[in-house]
Structure 1
């Protein structure tokens, strides 16, 4: 099961980047009436009214929604769910991406889109069940290139674990 964003976004890092921890942002948002706001409005307000970087604003908004609006871990603003895993692969970005791409193509056919020139090269598929799968290569580190596989638009929280298992099988096969 996905874990709450608070466990992924540590209070020290949040405070260092934004000046407040989880409880501080939650209290401020409650005082502002954000419990009735949609995700985009919360994130926009954090950026415009408090100068929070967009990436942090998204995380703060999700944390607030999980704490005060009933949003479940892994649930997106549209109500669907997302599952993801990352594995470090040998090679540069495009080599690592190609290893995982070959495994996804063997299971799901040709992708519907790609952007290999992006700062984080990505390849995308629309799957027959209505979900979407994406693979993206992060900047390389000393061990290789982290490649993230994400399945989006899952219909329920119960669909997340089978999706994570499918992702693990793809990454295991690509790792050899």
Structure 2
């Protein structure tokens, strides 16, 4: 199960970084007309009017949408759902990504795109059911390279469990 963002975005960290609590941000956004705004408009307002760092602005906006607009955990601004998992894979960045890529290709065929020269190398697939899958390699650490696998454009919350199981099967195939 995906949890609400306020369970992952600690109140002390939020207040230290932005000067306000979850509830203070929610009340401020709603008072300014935020119930009628798009996700992007809310983020832009937080950054432009209140000088909030864009990363925090995204989190504050999702928190507001979940608390005041009924957005479900895992739901994107367009109404679709996304799941993501990260595992540390032995090896340097491109080798770790190649191992995950091979596991995905065995299940879903050739990718439709890649950017191996990016700051976070990524390989992408369009799946037969209309969803999209991406594997991205982060900075290596002492135990290997964290590789994130994301499946997006899921039609509803009910599809999230199968997508999580698919990601787990991909990582299991990597070993």
Interval of TM-score (by shorter of Structure 1 and Structure 2): over 0.9
SS in 2 for 1:44: helix
Q: Work out whether 1:145 is the aligned partner of 2:127.
A: no
Please state how far the C-alpha of 1:167 moved relative to its aligned partner: 0.3
Determine whether 1:50 maps to 2:50. yes
Shift of 1:17: 1.9
The corresponding residue for 1:165 is: 165
Match of 2:83 in 1: 83
Aligned to 1:39: 39
Distance in 2 (alpha carbons) for counterparts of 1:142 and 1:43: 35
SS at match of 1:42: helix
What is the match of residue 122 of structure 1? 122
Once residues 142 and 10 of structure 1 are traced to their aligned partners in structure 2, the CA distance between those partners, rounded to angstroms, is 27
How many residues in Structure 1 have an aligned counterpart in Structure 2? 175
Q: How much has 1:16 moved relative to structure 2?
A: 2.1
Once residues 69 and 43 of structure 1 are traced to their aligned partners in structure 2, the CA distance between those partners, rounded to angstroms, is: 15
**1:79-131: CA deviation from partner (whole Å, max 9, x where unpaired):** 00001111111111111111100000111111111111111111100011100
Runs of 4+ residues deviating >3 angstroms: none
Residue 164 of structure 2: SS of its match in structure 1?
helix
Q: Aligned equivalents of 2:65 and 2:153: distance in 1?
A: 18
User: What is the SS of the residue equivalent to 2:78?
Assistant: coil
TM-score, scaled to structure 2: 0.97
- 1:4 maps to 4
Q: Mind listing any 5+ residue stretches in structure 1 that lack a counterpart?
A: none
Distance 1:71 1:13 in 2: 23
Cα separation, 2, equivalents of 1:44 and 1:89: 36
Q: What are the ranges of 5 or more consecutive residues in structure 2 without an aligned counterpart?
A: none
Q: Secondary structure at the match of 2:40?
A: helix
Distance in 1 (alpha carbons) for counterparts of 2:125 and 2:102:
13
